[in-house]
Chain A
Amino acid sequence: MNLLQAFNMALKSIASNKIRALLTMLGIVIGVSSVIILVSLGEGSSKVITERIQSMGTNLIHVRIFGRGSNRTVSEDELISLAANNSEVIENVVPSLDDTVTIKYSNKNMQTSLVGTSEAYQTVRNTNVQQGRFFSALDVERRQKVVLIGAYIANELFAGMSPIGQTIKINGDVFTVVGVLEEKAGAAQGSDDDRVIIPYTTAKRLVRNANITTFYVQAKTPDTVDSAMQKVEEFLFKKFNNTDSYRVFNQADMLNTVNETTKTLSMMLGGIAAISLVVGGIGIMNIMLVSVTERTREIGIRKAIGAKRKSILVQFLIESVVVSCLGGLIGVVFGVIGAHFIGKLMSISAQPSFTTIILSFSFSAVVGIFFGFYPADKASRLNPIEALRFE
C-alpha cells in the first residue's frame, strides 16, 4: 500500500465524521492563530518603537545632568567649545531647556511642553517643518519671541486655519508662530506633536529652571558615535569629577535595549501561545484514542484481510496529521486576518512574517505526528481476533 492510498483512506474517514474532525482541529486552530497574532503584534510594536527612536535623529547622543543648582549645569560657551574642540568627531551640540507651559490663543488655553534650543536642533533631532520655517541663528542671538508649534497644537488651537504669523501667549508672553512641525506621532496628545519649540535664549527668561541640564550631541558619522561619546564623557567628568551626576546614552544603545526587550516579549507571547498548541495536540491524541477504540472492529477487519502493522499505523498517523495540518491552515488564515484587525485597533502594522507563519504551521504538523503516534501505534498493535470479536 502506498502513501497516496493511505492518504485517501484517511481523508475518507475524516470526511465521514466532519463535526468531530472540526472540533479536534479547534485546539490547533486557536493555537496557531494565537501564535501568529501575538508574535506579529510583538514584531509590529517593536517596529513602531524602532522607527520612533530612529526618527529622533541620526548619530544622536543624549546627555542628561542630574541634580539642581548652578554647579549642576553646563553653560552655552562650554557646549560651543566642546563642539569646537572635537570637531573631528562632533558635528553639532544643542542645548535643551525643558518645561511645561500654558499657551493661549484667543480664548483657548492649553498645557504643553516647551523646548528651548538652538537652530541646529532641526538637524540634530531630525525635526522637519511642515509649514513656515525653523527659527534662525539670528533669532537665537537676538532672543526673538518666535515659536514653532507641534501638529497637535496646530490642530487644537488653529483648527484648519494657517497658524503662520499668528501670535500666541506662552506663560503670558506674546510669541509669533513661524512654523508648524511635521507630524511625528499621529498628532496625539502628550506625544512629540504636543509641544512648542523656542530659542533657548528666549526660554531662559521664561522657564523656572534656566540651567542647561539636557543637551544633544550629533556625531559626525555613525562610526564616530563611540568616540564622540567618549569625548563628551571626558568633558563631563572633568567638569563634575564624578560619573554619577550625568548620564550619556546614544540611539544605538536605546535601540538595542528596546529590541532585546521586545524580542523577549515576543518570544514569551509566542511561547504561551505555543502551549495552547500543545494542548490542542493533546486534544488530538484524546480524540484519536477514542477513534481507535471505536474502530477496533474496522481495524480487525483490515488486519484479517491482510493489512500489515505499518499500513494501520500510517493510516491513523495520516489522519491525525491531516487533521492538525488542516487546523494549522485554518489557524494561519485566522491568524493573519486577526493580526491585521487587532493591529489596526492598536494602530500598529502587525504584518505576520513569513517565518512566523511557516514555523507555526510546521509546529502544528509536528504536533499532529507527535500526538498521533501513540494512538496510531496502539491501533497497529491490536490483535485481529480480539478486534473482530469487539462489539
Chain B
Amino acid sequence: MIRIQNMYKIYKMGKVEVKALDNISIHIKAKEFVAIIGPSGSGKSTLMNMIGCLDTPTSGAYYLDNKEVSKLKDDDLAEIRNKKVGFIFQRFNLLPKLTAFENVELPLIYRGISRKKRVQMVLEALEQVGLGDRIHHRPPELSGGQQQRVAIARALSSKPPLILADEPTGALDSKSGYEVINMMHKLHEMGNTIVLITHDSNIAQQAKRIIRIMDGKIVEDKEGAQ
C-alpha cells in the first residue's frame, strides 16, 4: 500500500540545512499496524505528513496504492487525503465552532456525498466511537478524550483505508489514552491500515511492527512482541 524510496525532506534555515528525513525507505502493506517511535525532533511528524500527502518531499519517490504521488499538485493531494487518509492529531484539530456532528461531516461534504447519506455515515461513525449521545456538543463542551473520539470518528467516517495518528494519546490521561488505543485496534481489526506515531514504548509494543527513527533515519524496523 505504501512504498517510500530514498525520501529526503530538507529544511533550509538560512545557511543551516535540517534533514528532517534522511534517505528514508519504507514499505507498508495493506492492513498492517505500524508504530513509529523516536525522540522529539527525529522527524516522525514530518514522515507522517509525507505518508498522509500533506507535504511533498525534497526528493525521493512515494507510491500510494502503486501510484506515484510525491509530485502531484495541491488539489490532487487534497483529493487523495480526502479519499484515502484519515488523520488523528495530538491536539485533535477539531473546528471549535462546529458541533461534533458537523466536524465529522466535514470530510464527507468535501467528498461530495449527498446529505441523506452523510447523516447516516456521520451517525454511524459517532456511534462507533461511543458518542451517539453527544452529536450536538461543540468541542469546548467535551472532555479531551471525547474530543479525540470525535476526531477519530471524523477520520473513519469516510471509511478511508489508511488511518494516520500522530501521538493521539499525547494530550490525554492514561484511561482515555487506553480507550483511544483500543479503538485503533478495533479499526485495525476492521481492515484498516494504521500508522501510529508515539513516544510511549508501551503503546508501541502493541503494534505488529515498530519503526524507530532518529535524526531523520530509520534505525530499527522490527516485528512487535505480539
Contact = CB atoms under 8 A, between A and B. Distances in A.
Tell whether A and B belong to one assembly.
yes
Interface of A: 1-2, 5, 12-13, 16, 297-298, 300-311, 384-385, 388
B95 A305 contact: no
Given A2-B112, A384-B54, A306 B107 contact: yes
Max chain A CB contacts within 10 Å: which of B78, B79, B107, B110?
Answer: B78
A301 B91 CA distance: 11
Taking chain A's interface residues, is the majority helix, strand, or loop, or is none over half, making it mixed?
helix
B87 interface: yes
Contact of A306 (B79, B89, B95, B98): B79
Given A301-B93, A384-B54, A308 B75 contact: yes
The 7 closest A-B pairs by CB, nearest first: A306-B82, A305-B107, A306-B110, A308-B75, A308-B78, A16-B97, A301-B93
B74 interface: yes
B212 interface: no
Nearest to B111: A306
B109 interface: yes
Interface string B72-87: 0011001101110001
B106 A305 contact: yes
B215 interface: no
Interface in B110-153: 110-112
A21 to B, nearest CB: 14
A385 B55 contact: yes
B106 A302 contact: yes
A387 to B, nearest CB: 10
Given A1-B112, A384-B54, A303 B95 contact: no
Taking chain B's interface residues, is the majority helix, strand, or loop, or is none over half, making it mixed?
helix
Interface of B: 49, 52, 54-55, 74-75, 78-79, 81-83, 87, 89, 93-95, 97-98, 106-107, 109-112, 154
Contacts of B54: 304, 384-385, 388
Contact of B110 (A13, A308, A385): A308
Contact of B82 (A5, A16, A305): A305
A13 B79 CA distance: 24
A305 B110 contact: yes
A378 to B, nearest CB: 14
5 contacts: A301-B93, A302-B110, A304-B54, A306-B83, A306-B110
Contacts of A297: 93
Given A16-B97, A304-B81, A385-B55, A309 B74 contact: yes
B74 A12 contact: no
Nearest to B106: A305
A308 B76 CA distance: 8
Contacts of A385: 49, 54-55
B43 to A, nearest CB: 13
Nearest to B155: A305
A388 B93 contact: yes
A305 B89 CA distance: 12
Contacts of B74: 308-309
B154 A308 contact: no
A308 to B, nearest CB: 5
A304 B93 contact: yes
B81 A305 contact: yes
A358 to B, nearest CB: 34
A298 B95 contact: yes
A388 B112 CA distance: 24
